[in-house]
Amino acid sequence: MSSSDDERSSDAPEPRSGGRLDSWKEIAAYLRRSVRSARRWEKEQALPIRRHDHGKGDSVYAFKAELDEWWNNPEADLDDQNGAERSAILPRRSRTAVLLAVGVFFALLFAAAWLSRPDSASTREPRPVPFRARDWVLISSFENRTGEPLFDGMLEYALEREISESRYVNVVPRPRIADALSLMKKPVNARIDAALGREICLRDGGIRALLTGRIEKIASRYLLSLAIVDPSSGATVAGFAEEAAGREKVPEAIRLCSSRLRDALGEAPGLIRQSEEKLASVTTPSLEALQLYSKADAQIEEGNSNVAEELLKEAVAKDPQFASAYIHLAFAIVNQGRPKKDYLPAAEKAFELSGTVSDRERYFILGGYYGMVGEDEKAKISYETLLSLFPDHHWAVGNLIVICNRLGQPWEAIGYTVRSAELNPKNFGRNIDAAFELFFAGRFAESNVYSGRAESLITPETIRSDASTVSLVHLLPAYCLWSQGQADQALQFVARRSSLRESRQNQESINSIGLLYLLLGRFKDAEKWIQQLEDPMQRETDLAMIAFDRGDRATMARHLLSLRRASEHRMVRLPFLLLRAGALSEAEKEIMALARLAPKERLRLGTAITPAYFDIAKGDLALMSGREQAAVHLLRRGLKNFDRPKVGISLTSSGASLMGTVSLARALEEEGDLAEAAEVLERLTETKTRAILLYCCDNGSLWMRSQLELARVYRRMGRLEDAQKIENELRRALAQADSDYVLLRELKRLETSGG
C-alpha cells in the first residue's frame, strides 16, 4: 500500500535520514521477521509504526531510521519473542516448487531432514545466546560432505571474512585459538570440530557462541547449513540453511548465512544492510583462490612466509584481481627480509585494486602499501581508520606497533601492544610483551597484571622454547618493586621465589635469580646461584660483575681473563669490563679482535657491533690511557650515532653505552665542562627500567653508577638539592645491599666530602 504526501499525518514529519516503508509487509521484510511478529512488537514493544489520517487501521508506514533506533534500544526485550518467529530456518526457494528440477527437490528433502533433528532449533523454543556488541564467536571446522577437497578449510575462512565486516560481532582470531590448543597440548593446526570448539570456548571463558556448519551436494546444487551453539550447554539455539546453484555461487550462500547469523545475534538490520552493500563487490569470485589465500594467511601467522608466498602466487594466478592476496604476497616477501624490488610490485597491484574491495580490506591494503613505500604517517592513519571500524583486526594492531615505533611514538606503540594482548588473552607472547613494555614505561601496576596473566599461561612447551623469558616472567614483580624503591619487598619476593623447587630446574632460572640478587647488592646470595651455572662464559662474566661492584679489580680481572680462555666467542662488553679491571692491553686486543670479525659473526653478536661501537670502545680506552681530548672526540661521535633508535628502541641502556656515557662525562669534567657532563648523564636518567632488564640484567649497577656520577656533577655545580634527590633514590635501591658494595661507600664519601 502506498500513499501520497497529503495522506501523511501532519504531526509525523519524515526523518532526514532513513527511507520510508509503506506497508506491514515492507516493515516486516526490513526487520527480517514475519508480519505477525511486527504487529505484536507494535503492541508489546512500542515498535514505531505510523498510521495515515484516512482511518484505515492497517494503512501503516514506518521510517528505517526510527526502526534502527528502536532495534538498538537496550530496553527492548526481544529475546523471548523473536526467536520463535524467526523465518531464517528453511532454505530460500521459489513458490513454484513444481517447476524446480529433481536435484532441487532432493536438496530440500535433505534440508528438511537436517532441520528436523532432535536438537534442531525448529523443534523447540529457541534459547538465543545472550550476546552483546563486540562479543566473540568461534567458527568450528565445517563438515564437507561434497567429496570436493576444495571446500576443506575454505568455508570457515570465507564465513570469518564475511562476519568480520560486522561492527557488532567479533570472530575469535586464529592466534587465540592456537593458544587454547597449546594449553590443551594439542597441535595448533588441529581440526576444530564441534566438541573441540566447545571445549575451547569453555576454557577461554570469553567466547559467547560457537558456530558449526556443513556443506552437502545434491546433483549440481550445494546446500550450506549453519548453527549457533551455546557453549555453556552445548545446545543448538538457531539454525540457517542456504542453497547455491553451483560452485561459484557458494560465496553468495555464505554471505547470506553470515547476514542471518548476525541478525540472530541481535545486530540491527540497518547495519547488516550497510555491510551487505559494501560487500556487493566480492574480494574474489574464485573459490580456488580463496582456499589458497586462507592457507597462506595461516602460514604467515605461523611464521612460514616462504610457504605463504608460493600459495599466494597461485592465488593471484587464479584471480588476477584478488587485491587482498596481492598485499599478503607483499607482506610474505617483506617478512623474509627481501629487497624492495621483490615486494613492491605486489603492493602496488594491491593498491591499484583497493577501490574494488570492502572497507576492511581496503584500509588494510592502504596501510600495508604506505608502510612499504616509507609513508608511515599515511600508513598509521589507514590502520587507525581500520581499527576504528573493526577493533578486532589483529594484523592492524601488530603493524601499528611497528609503525608507531618507526615514527618515534613509543607511548602509542605501548597502547597497541596492550591492545594486542587484550585481543589474544591466552597468548603468552602477547601478554609478556605488554608486561615488559609497561614495565619499561614505569607503569608497574599494569605490568604486573599482564605478567601475572602470562605466568598463568606457562606450559612445559613454553619453558622448553623460551626458558629465558619464562624466568624473567617469574621475577618481573620483584623488578617492579625494586624500581619503585622497595628493595626490602623485592628481596622478600626473590627469596620466596628461590625457595621453590622449579627455580632450580633450569639454568635460565638459576641465572635470573643470581642476577636479581646482584641487582639488590646481595653478593653472597648472588654468588651461591651464579656458581651453579654450567656455561663458563655466563658464570665468569657474572662473577666479574660481582667483583666490580665490590671494587675488587684484581678478582674482576682474573674472572675476565678466565672467560677469554674458556670461550672462543667474542663478547661485546668485554673490552669495557677489562678497562675497568685495569687490563688496558688486554682490552685493546679484544677491540682489535672484534674489528676483525666477519659481518656474519658480528651479526650473531647483535646490532651493537657498528662503527659507533668502536668509537665508544676506543674513546673509553683513550680516557683510561690519559688521552682526554681524544676520548671526548671519539665518545661524542660514537654515542651520537649509537643512540639512534632501531625500530623505536634506543640503545642508550646497553652496557657499552652506559659505560661510554660515564666515561664521556668524566672526560668533560676533566676539561671543566660541567654543564655538558650533566647533560650527557641526564640522558640516562629515564633509561632505568630498560637498563636493568632489556639488554643484560646485570646492567643495573652500571645505571646506578651513571646516576651517582650525575649527583657528583650536580654537587660540583652547586645543585645540592638535585644531587641529594638522586642520592636518596640510590640509597633506597641499595637498602638491602651488602656493606662492601662500592656504591654505598661512594655515597657515604659524597655525603661527607660534598663532592
Sign of CA dihedral 393, 394, 398, 399: negative
For residue 58, what pLDDT is reported? 58
Average pLDDT, integer, range 698-720: 90
Beta bridge partners of 20: 63
Structural contact between residues 560 and 574, judged by C-beta atoms closer than 8 angstroms: yes
- Neighbour count for residue 51 (Cβ, 10 Å): 15
Query: Would you say the pTM of this structure is higher than 0.85?
Result: no
Could you read off the pLDDT of 4-27 as tens digits, one per residue?
Answer: 333 333 344 444 344 778 888 788
User: Which of 85, 110, 144 is where one domain is finished?
Assistant: 85
Q: pLDDT over 90 for what percent of the chain? A: 41
Q: Does residue 392 share a domain with residue 373?
A: yes
pLDDT tens per residue across span 383-434: 999 999 888 788 899 999 999 989 989 899 999 999 999 888 888 999 999 9
Query: Please, is 57 exposed, middle or buried when counting C-beta atoms within 10 Å of its C-beta (0-12, 13-18, 19+)?
Result: exposed
pLDDT, tens digit (0-9, with 9 covering 90-100), for 455-485:
998 888 888 888 888 998 999 999 999 999 9
Segment holding 63, helix H or strand E: strand 60-63
Do the Cβ atoms of 284 and 325 come closer than 8 Å? yes
Domains in the chain: how many in total?
A: 4
Please give the residue range of the domain that contains residue 58.
Answer: 5-85
Whether the CA torsion 566, 567, 568, 571 is positive or negative: it is negative
- 359 assigned to some structural domain: yes
**Are 461 and 387 part of one and the same domain?**
no
In whole angstroms, give the CA distance from residue 741 to residue 523. Answer: 9
Distance of alpha carbon 694 from alpha carbon 572, whole angstroms: 15
Q: Among residues 506, 534, 562, which one ends one of the domains?
A: 534
Nearest to 616 by CA among 661, 558, 549: 661
* Residue 291, domain member (yes or no): yes
The verdict on 220 and 268 lying in the same domain is yes
Amino acid letter at 747?
A: L
586 found inside a domain: no
Query: In this structure, are residues 53 and 9 in contact, taking their beta carbons and an 8 Å threshold?
Result: yes
Residue 631 near residue 620, CB atoms below 8 Å = yes
Average pLDDT, stretch 563-581? 80
Q: Residue 387 falls within a domain, yes or no?
A: yes
Residues 292, 356: one domain?
yes
In sequence order, the β-bridge partners of residue 223 are 216, 243
- Report residue 668's pLDDT band, with 50, 70 and 90 as the boundaries: very high
The reply to whether 151 and 214 lie within a common domain is: yes
Instruction: Mark whether 158 and 273 lie in a shared domain.
Output: yes
- Return the bridge partners of 207, or none: 136
- Whether 378 is in a domain gets the answer yes
Which domain-ending residue is among 278, 308, 336? Answer: 278
* Residue at 753 is within a domain: no
Q: What mean pLDDT is predicted for residues 143-160? A: 87
Mutual angle of helices 410-423 and 394-406, in 10-degree steps = 160
Q: Is the pLDDT of residue 722 over 50?
A: yes
User: Domain holding 491: CATH number?
Assistant: 1.25.40.10
Distance CA 241, CA 97 (A): 17
Q: What is the DSSP letter of 649?
A: B
In whole angstroms, give the CA distance from residue 51 to residue 9: 7
Q: Which three cell numbers stand for residue 201?
A: 570456548
Asked if residue 241 and residue 254 are part of one domain, the reply reads yes
The pLDDT score that the predictor gives to residue 98 is 37
pLDDT in tens, 514-549: 999 999 999 999 999 999 999 888 888 899 999 999
Mean pLDDT of 155-176: 85
The string of DSSP codes covering 502-571 is: GGGSSHHHHHHHHHHHHHTT-HHHHHHHHTT-S-HHHHHHHHHHHHHHHT-HHHHHHHHHHHHHH-SS--
Residues 6+ apart with CB under 8 A from 327: 346, 347, 350, 364, 365, 368, 369
Average pLDDT, the chain: 82
- The answer to whether residues 400 and 521 belong to one domain is no
Predicted local distance difference test score (pLDDT) of residue 461: 82
pLDDT of 611 above 50: yes
Helix axes 250-264, 269-278, angle to 10 degrees: 160
**What is the distance between the alpha carbons of residues 281 and 177, in angstroms, rounded to a whole number?**
30
Report the pLDDT value the prediction gives residue 114, as an integer from 0 to 100.
46
CA distance 276 to 261: 13
Residue 606 is predicted with a pLDDT of: 57
Within a domain: 413:
yes
Residues 117 and 226 in one domain: yes
The 10s digit of each residue's pLDDT in 58-95 is 578 888 878 877 776 645 555 433 333 333 333 333 33
The angle subtended at Cα 512 by Cα 509 and Cα 517, nearest 5°, is 125
CA distances from 237 to 79, 85, 113, 160, 725 (A): 12, 13, 17, 20, 65
**Which pLDDT band holds residue 607 (cuts at 50, 70, 90)?**
low
Q: What is the pLDDT of residue 77?
A: 53
* CATH number of the domain enclosing 131: 3.40.50.10610
Query: Which pLDDT score is estimated for 605?
Result: 64
Cell of 597: 670479525
Which pLDDT does position 646 carry in this prediction?
Answer: 40
Q: Which tens digits make up the pLDDT trace of 626-637?
A: 998 999 999 999
d(CA 362, CA 278): 11
Average pLDDT over residues 338-348: 95
Q: How is residue 321 written as a grid cell?
A: 584481481
Residue 750 lies in a domain: no
Mean pLDDT of 314-326: 94
CATH number, domain of 78, equals 1.10.10.10
140 band by pLDDT with thresholds 50, 70 and 90: very high
Q: 703 with 653: CB under 8 angstroms?
A: yes
Q: What is the pLDDT of residue 445?
A: 94
Per the model's pLDDT, the better-predicted residue between 710 and 696 turns out to be 710
The answer to whether the CB of 347 falls within 8 A of the CB of 328 is no
The mean per-residue pLDDT over the stretch 198-218 comes to 91
By mean pLDDT, which of 8-12, 674-678, 716-720, 743-747 is the weakest? 8-12
Dihedral angle, C-alpha 712, 714, 715, 721, nearest 10 °: -120
Q: Are residues 200 and 300 in the same domain?
A: no
Same domain, 161 and 71: no
Does 382 share its domain with 337? yes
Dig out the grid coordinates for 242 from the structure.
542456504
